[in-house]
Amino acid sequence: MVVWSAAGPEILGGRPAGPGAAAVVGAGRGGDAVPLGWKHGSMANKAKNGDQPVTRQRMDKKIYEAELLRLQGELVEMQEWIKTTGQRMVVIFEGRDAAGKGGAIKRVSEYLNPRVAETVALPAPTERQRTQWYFQRYIPHLPAAGEIKLFDRSWYNRGGVERVMGFCTPDEYVRFLRQCPIFERMLIEDGIILRKYWFSVSAEEQYARFQSRLTDPMRRWKLSPTDLESLTKWEEYSRAKDEMFVHTDLPEARWWVVESEDKRAARINMIAHLLDSVPYEHVRPPKIVLPARPESDGYRRTEKALQHEVPDYATSLTDKDVPSPYQDPED
C-alpha cells in the first residue's frame, strides 16, 4: 500500500490482478455457454484457412452499454493509479483490417484524460525514417511516468503488412523477428507495462464490414487501397500472423487474441482482460474546495455588438428538421 500526504491522493488497495486468462480473451467466462444478454442467431461465421470455427451471437445492446460504462469507470480508476504511482503503460492493438481495433481504442479512451492516455497511430514512414533503425520512430512515442500509450498498430507492421505487401526486404523481416523480443524485453525490464492484443475476425465478417463501409459515407474513408488488396491476400496474412506469434509471443509479453466477430463482445472482453491483468488500486483523490469568487473591482464587459458571435443555428431547428440519428451499421 502506498499512501501520499494528507493533501495528496491515497492508494487504498483492494483490487489485485486477475488469476490469469486464457490465450483467447473472453475464454473462461462461462465456457461454451452463451453468456447472459447475447442474442442467438444474429451472427454466425466460420473462420477459414486453419482458424478455429467461430460462432458468435451478438451481445444485447443494453447489457453491452451498461457493462461498457462500468468498465470505463474502472479504466478511469486504473488511469489515476498509473498517474499517481508514475507507472508507464503501452497497449498494442493489432489485427486484420476491419477487425475492430479502432472501435476498441475509442471505447478504452473515451473517458480517459487525453493528457494521460494518448492514441498513437503513425503514418507510413518517411524516406528519412526508412533509413533509420526500424524501431527508432516508435521510441519517441513510448510513455513517460504516469502515461498510457494506445498503439493503433505498432512496430508489428513489419511482421504483417510490410512483409505481405513487400514493403520490407526478407533480411529486414528476419531482423525484425530477431530484434523484436529483445526490444520488448528491454521495455519490460525498464518497468513499462506492455499488453498486446490481436483482434481476430473471419474472412466472411471482414468482407461484410468492407461492403458496409463502401455504402456508408461516414465510414468510407476507412477503406484504403491496401485494405482492398488485403482481401486477395488472406492466407498470406494468416501465415504472417502465425509466424509472428511464434517469434514474439513471449512469457513476459504474451499475445492475447480477441475474438472480434461481434464488436460489442470484443470490446467488453478486451477491456475486462486489460483491467484484470493490471494490479491497480483505488486512489482516493485529494479533497478539492472551490475558492470564493472575489467582489468585482469595477470591470465592465465589452459590448456584445463589438464581438463576432457564432449564429444561433440551434434555435432555428424543429422536430421536422432533425433527421434520425446516425447509426453505425457495424456496431
Q: What is the pLDDT of residues 316-325, one digit of tens each?
A: 888 887 777 7
Residue 166 scores a pLDDT above 80? yes
Place of cell 501465415: 239
CA distance 216 to 259: 24
Of the candidates 253, 262, 270, the residue with the CA atom closest to the CA atom of residue 205: 262
CA distance 201 to 247: 22
pLDDT class of 66 with cuts at 50, 70, 90: very high
User: What pLDDT does residue 103 have?
Assistant: 97
User: 75 lies in a domain?
Assistant: yes
**Which element (helix H / strand E) includes 163?**
helix 161-165
Write out 229-276 in H/E/C secondary structure: HHHHHHHHHHHHHHHHHHHHCCCCCCEEEEECCCHHHHHHHHHHHHHH
pLDDT in tens, 176-224: 999 999 999 999 999 999 999 999 999 999 999 999 998 888 889 888 8
User: 97 lies in a domain?
Assistant: yes
Place of cell 447489457: 63
pLDDT in tens, 22-35: 367 765 433 333 33
Question: Residue 229 is which amino acid?
Answer: E
Residue 212 sits in a domain of what CATH number? 3.40.50.300
Is 263 in contact with 331 (CB distance < 8 Å)? yes
User: What pLDDT does residue 38 have?
Assistant: 36
Mean pLDDT of 145-162: 98
Residue 37 scores a pLDDT above 50? no
3-state secondary structure of 277: helix
Comparing 20 with 186, which gets the higher pLDDT? 186
User: 79 lies in a domain?
Assistant: yes
Strands 24-25, 255-259: pairing kind: parallel
User: 5 lies in a domain?
Assistant: no
User: What pLDDT does residue 45 have?
Assistant: 39
Is 104 in contact with 270 (CB distance < 8 Å)? yes
pLDDT class of 51 with cuts at 50, 70, 90: very low
User: 317 lies in a domain?
Assistant: no
Residue-by-residue DSSP string for 50-96: TPPPB--PPBPHHHHHHHHHHHHHHHHHHHHHHHHHT-EEEEEEEES
User: What pLDDT does residue 324 have?
Assistant: 75
pLDDT in tens, 262-306: 999 999 999 999 999 999 999 998 899 999 999 988 898 889 889
Q: What share of the chain is helix, strand, coil (3-state, %, to 5)?
A: 40, 15, 45
Q: In the chain, pLDDT over 70 holds for what percent of residues? A: 83
Q: In the chain, pLDDT over 90 holds for what percent of residues? A: 69
Residue 15 scores a pLDDT above 90? no
User: What pLDDT does residue 133 have?
Assistant: 99
Residue 135 scores a pLDDT above 70? yes
User: What pLDDT does residue 55 have?
Assistant: 60
User: 129 lies in a domain?
Assistant: yes
Residues spanned by the domain of 203: 10-284
Residue 11 scores a pLDDT above 90? no
pLDDT class of 147 with cuts at 50, 70, 90: very high
User: 144 lies in a domain?
Assistant: yes
pLDDT in tens, 75-110: 999 999 999 999 999 999 999 999 999 999 999 999
Name the pTM for this structure: 0.82
Burial of 56 (0-12, 13-18, 19+ CB in 10 A): buried
User: What pLDDT does residue 5 have?
Assistant: 36
User: What pLDDT does residue 54 have?
Assistant: 57
User: 69 lies in a domain?
Assistant: yes
Number of domains in the chain: 1
Strands 192-200, 88-95: pairing kind: parallel
Is 101 in contact with 93 (CB distance < 8 Å)? yes
Total residues found in the chain within this entry: 331
Name the average pLDDT for the chain: 86
Burial of 138 (0-12, 13-18, 19+ CB in 10 A): middle
Residue 18 scores a pLDDT above 60? no
pLDDT class of 56 with cuts at 50, 70, 90: low
Radius of gyration of the CA atoms of the chain, in A: 23
